Structure 1
Amino acid sequence: MDAHVGEAIVFTRRIRLLAGALVLGCLVLVGPSGPIDGPFASSLRDEITAEVVPNRVMTWNICNPCGENSADRAAEIATYAPQVIGMQEACVRDVERVRDYLKSRYGLIYHVEYGTVLRNWGRCGGLPWSPGAYGQAVLSAAPMTDLVHREYPDGGSEDRGYMAVTTTVGGQPVRVFNTHLAQRRQEAVRAAQTDVLAAEIAPYDRAIVIGDFNAVANAPELGAMWKLATDVDAECQPSSFSGGCKPTTDWQSKFDYIFLRGISPLKHRVHPTRYSDHHMLYSDLDMSTAREGS
């Protein structure tokens, strides 16, 4: 799929979602003329059904604990409908609700795998003796296999880790990694974590690595990643200073990446959102050279 086709799909989807919202608004004002489960309701659901863009991947640190509504997060994701979404700071309960909203409101059906690194009542709720699970998650429109999730030997001030799955992007099987590195001002810890992650990526000729790396492009701790892959932002290079990369956070730093190994980007976009302190980053990819076993 080329960039023009992708743009057309997004435009069409936005028109459908707008039409559905206008009709729902009318229902609120004048009330339904028939039963909610009648033919009209079925037609309305058809109108707001989105379509997954098969070669699109997204990374999003959804921010926990931020108290945001899962329905709002789902609406943001549905606007761009990526094939694969990697989330960081993801509570399992939140991800489950997001997935349910994506299915019930937008007709987007995703499989999900988790890379839980800790259980935290303060972040994820639950009961003190049964707190919610927290870490990474991958949602994919295609089934996922060969799940691996690991905690880094040293997480820094909070447990951190990575996960990996094999799934389909653009009609081709590919290994997808999702990670969240140590918090800011822990450069040495991040450097060790990046070395661990790079060693796992290296055997794959083609891979997609998404996540919140908590470091700008020219930070020394990202050196191991730049040796293996490139970012979807062609202007963002390891020699770049802050002005060379589009920021992905509210504090105007580039911390979020979609690294590609043996795969070419078609276009990417950074989408600021009020539902997290990190922006949504997505890219359409050229998967024409990706083959099974890469």
Structure 2
Amino acid sequence: MVLPRGARLLTGAMAMLCMVLVGPSAPSGAVAGARPVEAVRDAVPNRVMTWNICNPCDAGNVDRAAEIATYAPQVIGLQEACVRDVERIRDYLQNLHGLVYHVKYGTVLQDWGRCGGAPWNPGAFGQAILSAAPMTDHIDVEYPEGGSEDRGYMAVTTLVGGRPVRVFNTHLAQRRQESVRAGQTGVLAADVARHDRAIVLGDLNAVPDAPELDPIWALATDTDPQCHPSPTGTCQPTTDWQSKFDYVFLRGITPLRHRVLPTPHSDHHLLHTDVDPA
């Protein structure tokens, strides 16, 4: 049916009025009343963070994003991360906090039990790196032996403090699997050693003086200058059970200050550090 000219004009006018009153439709992934999709906040350019976000845990991605946004690091390494969770965290960081991050994944499991999804399309589980700057030369490596659960590491090249840095993110085998972790750190250290400037983030499931961490200590230092691979080192615990399992190792980069921050949203604390990449 063709409407008379007067009716068509009235219909068009009403449509224009609706657009003025309601506004354009929200972009994909946006939250009602959210900030625009472009960044409205800057990340701290020389700050890096590591966080095991705990999975499965009763934690919401809105809360996880709010924790990250509080400190706005340039680079974040997440462990025990489901792809769907990371996607939501990234969207909340952008839409609720004005922080825009690029994301790369280090998947080691297709895990329906942990990450949900349909049995024929399970959620991917492993590590993730979020960076305010683009990332290049991404690799995703599964360790030859994972122990009781597949484990691996990922690496990217991105900017920290305005300079390119190779950033690694890993999650080593669970506790009481020392020999497995020793093999894993050997694989990881061989790759780290290829770079004069590198940052290693992760949950290593081992205390600083554990022998299996020796290959990493031989290449890098902990962001905490008081933390050493000996019982005399003073290392802040990073877990609810008062052990230091989470690390920011620096190679060719100087630490400036760091903070360990307990959170109700994980059994691991957030650890972030500001560095001097020069």
Query: If the length of structure 2 is used for normalisation, what is the TM-score?
Result: 0.86
Instruction: Name the counterpart of 1:52.
Output: 43
CA 1:45–1:118 in structure 2 vs 1: closer, same or farther (change >3 Å)?
Answer: closer
Q: Deviations over 1:169-214 (max 9, x none)?
A: 0000010000000000000000000000000010111100000000
Q: Deviations over 1:16-71 (max 9, x none)?
A: xxxxxxxxxxxxxxxxxxx7869xxxx9959x954310000000000011131100
For 2:226 and 2:212, the matched residues in 1 are separated by 19
Q: Which amino acid aligns with 2:120?
A: W
Q: Which amino acid aligns with 1:260?
A: L
Instruction: Name the counterpart of 1:156.
Output: 147
Is the aligned partner of 1:223 residue 2:211? no
% same residue: 71
Instruction: Name the counterpart of 1:81.
Output: 72
Q: Which consecutive aligned stretches of 4+ in structure 1 deviate over 6 angstroms post-superposition?
A: 35-38
- Residue 267 of structure 1: which of 250, 257, 265 is its match? 257
Is 2:34–2:96's contact at 8 Å kept on the other side of the alignment?
no
Q: Secondary structure, in 3 states, of the residue corresponding to 2:84?
A: helix
Is 1:250–1:277's contact at 8 Å kept on the other side of the alignment?
yes
For 1:37 and 1:105, the matched residues in 2 are separated by 19
For 1:162 and 1:151, the matched residues in 2 are separated by 6
Correspondence 1:111-190 to 2 at 5 A: 111-190=102-181
Structure 2: which 5+ runs fail to align?
A: 1-20, 25-32
Is the aligned partner of 1:280 residue 2:266? no
CA 1:66–1:36 in structure 2 vs 1: closer, same or farther (change >3 Å)?
Answer: farther
Q: Secondary structure, in 3 states, of the residue corresponding to 2:158?
A: strand
Q: Which amino acid aligns with 1:273?
A: T
For 1:216 and 1:250, the matched residues in 2 are separated by 14
Instruction: Name the counterpart of 1:13.
Output: none
Is 1:49–1:105's contact at 8 Å kept on the other side of the alignment?
no
Is 1:65–1:122's contact at 8 Å kept on the other side of the alignment?
no
Is the aligned partner of 1:236 residue 2:227? yes
Q: Secondary structure, in 3 states, of the residue corresponding to 1:57?
A: strand
Q: Secondary structure, in 3 states, of the residue corresponding to 1:244?
A: coil
Q: Secondary structure, in 3 states, of the residue corresponding to 1:134?
A: strand
Q: Which has the higher helix share?
A: 1
For 1:36 and 1:173, the matched residues in 2 are separated by 44
Is 1:230–1:261's contact at 8 Å kept on the other side of the alignment?
yes
Choose 1 or 2 for highest CA Rg.
Answer: 2
How big is the shift at 1:108? 0.2
For 2:202 and 2:183, the matched residues in 1 are separated by 16
Q: Which amino acid aligns with 2:262?
A: P
Q: Which amino acid aligns with 1:81?
A: A
Instruction: Name the counterpart of 1:249.
Output: 239
Is the aligned partner of 1:206 residue 2:197? yes
CA 1:187–1:149 in structure 2 vs 1: closer, same or farther (change >3 Å)?
Answer: same
Correspondence 1:2-81 to 2 at 5 A: 45=35, 49-81=40-72
Q: Secondary structure, in 3 states, of the residue corresponding to 1:100?
A: helix
For 1:240 and 1:99, the matched residues in 2 are separated by 39
How big is the shift at 1:115? 0.3
